[in-house]
Amino acid sequence: MPLRALAALEADRRVELFAPPQLTPEWVAFGQRAGACLVATMEDPFDALTFAVMSGLRTRVVMAIDRQFASDCDSLMKAGAFACVAMPFAKDDVTALVESLVPHASGPQVDGGLRLVLDPITRTIRHHDRSARLTQREFALLHCLVSQAGPVSAEVLLATAWGDNPNVAGSRPVLEVYVHQVRKKLRQVGLEGIVQTVRGFGYRLVERSHAI
């Protein structure tokens, strides 16, 4: 599979594209919660679709097929594919695909600037081909930072992660310990210096290009 055929898809900042070396049970489980699973093939697309279904995928399957099989798109969709696109992808193809998937989006949240995926079901973060699992409170803190535009106060972060425990309310040292752990997990997936301290206020998430 020539990667240039997927270049327009991979370059689009609205999309986070994962390419597992093998379709293991872990990747199948992740695929169930992704926006869609892309099945790209230069061979018979019906064989590829059958393989995906037999592997256990029960999510939206987008078929990316060679142009010589373009006439099979309608049949592939009748067979269960969510969408069908002839390769190589063009920018218009990517836009149409993204717009068709948005109404059906659920599960993982994607931070487009960092290309960071947050999976709330497994409390796992993924960046490119690296992943790390967070505790419940670590995930709550990171999710809050990703969801807010700009700095987030320590009070808001404490209320978000410890709203069920009033004894922790206002405990800045506890928050600092957990932020340290979140930074450590982000570093494991290749995102260094992403959580920045805002002195006297709280924390903020910064773009990778501005990380230190």
Over 49-87, what HEC string results? HHHHHHCCCCCCEEEEEEHHHHHHHHHHHHCCCCEEEEE
What pLDDT, on a 0 to 100 scale, did the predictor assign at position 10?
A: 81
Q: What percent of the chain has pLDDT over 70?
A: 83
Write the pLDDT tens digit of every residue in 20-76: 777 777 777 767 667 788 999 999 999 999 988 888 777 889 999 999 999 999 999
Q: Is the pTM of this model over 0.85?
A: no
Mean of pLDDT values over 104-109: 53
Write the pLDDT tens digit of every residue in 184-204: 999 999 998 999 999 999 999
What pLDDT, on a 0 to 100 scale, did the predictor assign at position 58?
A: 75
Q: 176 pLDDT exceeds 50?
A: yes
CATH 3.40.50 intervals, the chain: 3-104
CATH 3.40.50 for the 3-104 domain, yes or no:
yes
Mean of pLDDT values over 121-143: 87
The domain made up of 109-210 has a fold known as Arc Repressor Mutant, subunit A (1.10.10)
What pLDDT, on a 0 to 100 scale, did the predictor assign at position 159?
A: 81
CATH 1.10.10.10 intervals, the chain: 109-210
pLDDT band at 153 (very low <50, low <70, confident <90, very high): very high
Burial of 145 (0-12, 13-18, 19+ CB in 10 A): buried
